[in-house]
Chain A
């Protein structure tokens, strides 16, 4: 530790870092490296989607028409709003406003729950309409086989995304607890910031899922 770093020492600073700035950069960088693996994790599914959509455009268009557009659109608005409240939570943490930080974390989590609720409603509707592959799947004969590819990818991609939302809610619960306990101070906002990075990433995945799954060839039948 350099002599000048001693002055910036705080209980929140781990001993292996020179100062809070270095600690913050390490935390941010570490989270981004994890997010790179996440980008490629979801990337594999997006590429699979592209290949099959390219092979069976008719079946994908027909299957996409069975999606509940208002639900997908509403969920997109819900998620970008939750990203805003997450960004405002980080802002409140930076200013040391603990009450506001906790309020924004709670709103973010509530919006996450609204998203999952709407998603659950959609899954239920698709189950009732026999659109779940392997569970008495029914579809117009022409696209019967390849529509299952679309629905398999739909459930895989949105399911994996929903799992990330649930993990995000778990992370935010811990952040809420830490904020309540006073672990988060204006000098130590790293946990809130890198949890925010994760939350925003999950939002970005949905930004791509929404048009690709819900809006294919909507102009054909409205």
Chain B
């Protein structure tokens, strides 16, 4: 397996995008977007995390087995979030007698 050395420019570019997104997260929080405040904050956070995983952590250039493990972690976290929240969020739907 040949070593894949990224040019430094890639790291600087990713850093600038991450810094800009941090500024954006901070500024957006002061505008009233209703429930979209949280959604915007989390969407930016997911985007930032994806950049860190793909470039700083070199997953973009990793083997398929590594990809499978990385996607697996997100998938299992998804199970934890979706199954738990589907319970808590739907509790009010059935009227209590």
> Which A residues contact B (CB, under 8 angstroms)?
21-22, 24-25, 28-29, 32-33, 35-36, 39-40, 43-44, 46-47, 50-51, 54-55, 69, 73, 76-77, 80-81, 83-84, 86-88, 91, 94-95, 193, 196-197, 200-201, 203-204, 207-208, 210-212, 215-220, 222
Contacts and interface: CB of A to CB of B under 8 A. Distances in A.
Contact residues of B: prevailing secondary structure: helix
Question: Would you list the 3 A-B pairs with minimal beta carbon distance, nearest first?
Answer: A21-B1, A211-B41, A215-B29
Given A87-B56, A200-B57, A212-B41, A29 B65 contact: yes
B63 A25 contact: yes
A196 B72 contact: no
B93 interface: no
Contacts, number: 135
B49 A204 contact: yes
A69 B30 CA distance: 12
Interface in B1-17: 1-3, 5-6, 8, 11-12, 14-15
Interface string B57-87: 1100011011001101110110011001100
In this complex, which of A25, A83, A86, A207 has the most chain B Cβ atoms within 10 angstroms of its Cβ?
Answer: A207
Given A25-B1, A47-B84, A219-B37, A81 B42 contact: no
A80 B44 CA distance: 14
A81 B15 contact: yes
Given A80-B18, A211-B29, A91 B5 contact: yes
A91 B15 contact: no
Contacts of B25: 76, 210-211, 215
9 contacts: A32-B70, A36-B73, A47-B80, A51-B85, A87-B55, A207-B48, A210-B22, A215-B41, A219-B37
